[in-house]
Amino acid sequence: MDFGYTKEEEGFRERLGKFLDKELTEEIARQNWEDKGVGPEAREFSRKLAANGFLGMSWPKEYGGKGLSPTYDFILLDELGKRWGAHIPLDIGYTMVGHTIFHRGSEELQREFLPKIIRGEIEFCLGYTEPNAGSDLASMKIRAVEDGDDYIINGQKTFNTEAHYAECHWLAARTDFSPNIPKHKGISLFIVDMDSPGITIRPLWTMSGERTNEVFYEDVRVPKKRMVGEKNKGFYYMMEAIDSERNHVFTPARLLPLLKDLIRYVRETEFQGKRLAEDSLIQEQLAGAAIELEVAQVIAEHSRWMESHRVPMTYEPEITKIVVSELEQRLVDTGMQILGLYSQLEEGSKRAPLQGRIEWYFLHSFMTTIGAGTSEVGRNVIAQRGLGLPRS
């Protein structure tokens, strides 16, 4: 066993840390984490990350990467997370769909998209969820019908968060309509230009102020060569990618800034002439959170290690997701308990502590245990795939 990083990895972390301290502004970090929409600042930051050699470490050389271990991308995520940058600026492309394009896409698709992804120049939007296909994703209805060299697509997606700034839609659509096949066997994946005629995007506003979207398809023409991998295998590709997605999205380090803010707050804030940091109940609560974060870190390191060493993953990234997301909620609650009346003050309000961050985090934290699959579905996966319990 060895829980350390190599000298090269530590060197990368150090160089990256210095770069981020200089380049990653609060504005950029928040455009990302708070899903405010990746603006010009974050786009520029993304290109700089690539230009300075911090993107693409783990990607194949033929597309502009360095061919090294995925560990480097996880270090990148950790270092961003420590600085409020919860993910890589254009992260749907970089940490999610890019891997599937590489493993399953045609050479033509690889050549078209991978270099742009590695240069930090293109973003995708996941097009999975539909109004009647949430946890039961395979029951999606959007239809793609063959017509000459194209597919013609009709239907609706929802909660497609990046749709209003991404260049491409990573669309899952039904391509086999036979009633006799299991519903997950008739789905294919497409890369659709977001500005294709017939696509309408409507904003949906979440309770914490992020924009997500409904996306409507009306006779949208998509060339057949934009299908990813084989026809009707889309759902398998989605499931195949899900473990790596969880490893890349649920980064414990992103909770560190919140914990640090709370520690700073209790050290600076007094009650009756005594610092809150001396209150034993508050000490206990924050120490408990720090312990959970330490455990979450090693849980994440374990599933990342599996991915980096191509050890088949079954339920481990699901554990990472559940632990990180539920910890986020508990940490936010701990923060609110400590801030008390002040915890309700939002950013911009008079007397808001910690820039009102904790109020935003409270609202946002409802999403973390439902986004990318609910904790309940996650626990089913752990029980059935991890422990071999029978399906209900």
Partner 1 sequence: MDFNFSGEQKMLKESARSFLERECPKTLVREMEKDEKGYSPALWRKMADLGWMGIVFPEKYGGSEGDFLDLLVLLEEMGRACLTGPFFSTVVLGGLAILEAGKESQKKEFLTQIASGGKFLTLAHTEPATTQYDPYLITVKAQAERNDYLIDGIKLFVPDAHVANYLICVARTKGEEREKGGITLFLVDVQSPGIQWDLLKTVARDKQCEVIFHKTKVPQENLLGGLNEGGAILERLLQKAAVAKCAEMIGGAQFVLDMCVSYAKEREQFGRPIGTFQAVQHHCANMLIDIEGGRYITYKAAWMLSQSIPCTMQVAAAKAWVSEAYKRVVSLGHQVMAGTGYMEEHDMPLYSRRAKAAEFAYGGANFYRKVVAKEIGL
Closer of 51 and 281 to partner 1 (Cβ)? 281
Q: Given candidates 79, 243, 292, 307, which one binds partner 1 under the rule CB under 8 A?
A: 292
Closer of 100 and 247 to partner 1 (Cβ)? 247
Which range in 82-90, 106-114, 194-202, 316-324 contacts partner 1 by CB under 8 A?
316-324
Helix (H/G/I), strand (E/B), else coil: 272: coil
Q: Judged by CB under 8 A, how many residues of this single chain contact partner 1?
A: 50
Q: Given candidates 145, 201, 277, 363, which one binds partner 1 under the rule CB under 8 A?
A: 277
Q: Given candidates 27, 147, 219, 376, which one binds partner 1 under the rule CB under 8 A?
A: 376
What are the contacts of 11-18 at 24+ separation with CB within 8 A?
Answer: 12/57, 12/72, 12/75, 13/75, 13/78, 13/79, 16/54, 16/75, 16/76, 16/79, 17/79
Quick check: 152 binds partner 1 (CB under 8 A)? Answer: no
Q: Which 37-66 positions form the footprint of partner 1 (CB under 8 A)?
A: none
Task: Give Rg (Cα) of the chain.
Answer: 22
CB of 295 to partner 1, least distance (A): 4
Q: Given candidates 30, 302, 314, 370, which one binds partner 1 under the rule CB under 8 A?
A: 302
Torsion of CA 327, 331, 337, 339, to 10 degrees: -160
Q: Given candidates 145, 201, 263, 370, which one binds partner 1 under the rule CB under 8 A?
A: 263
Q: Which tokens hold the place of 11?
A: 């060197």
CB of 181 to partner 1, least distance (A): 25
Q: Which tokens hold the place of 390?
A: 């029978």
CB of 344 to partner 1, least distance (A): 24
Quick check: 68 binds partner 1 (CB under 8 A)? Answer: no
Q: Given candidates 15, 202, 225, 267, which one binds partner 1 under the rule CB under 8 A?
A: 267
Quick check: 182 binds partner 1 (CB under 8 A)? Answer: no
- One-letter amino acid at 232 equals N
Q: Given candidates 41, 62, 294, 347, which one binds partner 1 under the rule CB under 8 A?
A: 294
Closer of 51 and 287 to partner 1 (Cβ)? 287
Quick check: 370 binds partner 1 (CB under 8 A)? Answer: no
Q: From its phi and psi, is residue 38 left (phi > 0), alpha (psi between -120 and 50) or beta?
A: beta
Helix (H/G/I), strand (E/B), else coil: 194: coil
Bridge-based pairing of strands 211-223 and 150-157 is antiparallel
Q: Which tokens hold the place of 236?
A: 């398998």
Element (H, E) at 204: strand 199-205
CA angle 242, 244, 245 (to 5 degrees): 60
* Dist CA 216 CA 147 (whole Å): 20
CA angle 214, 165, 94 (to 5 degrees): 105
Q: Given candidates 189, 241, 319, 338, which one binds partner 1 under the rule CB under 8 A?
A: 319
Which residues are at the interface with partner 1 (CB under 8 A)? 1-5, 71, 259, 263, 266-267, 277-278, 282-284, 286-288, 290-292, 294-296, 298-299, 301-302, 305-306, 308, 315-316, 319, 322-323, 376, 378-380, 382-384, 386-392
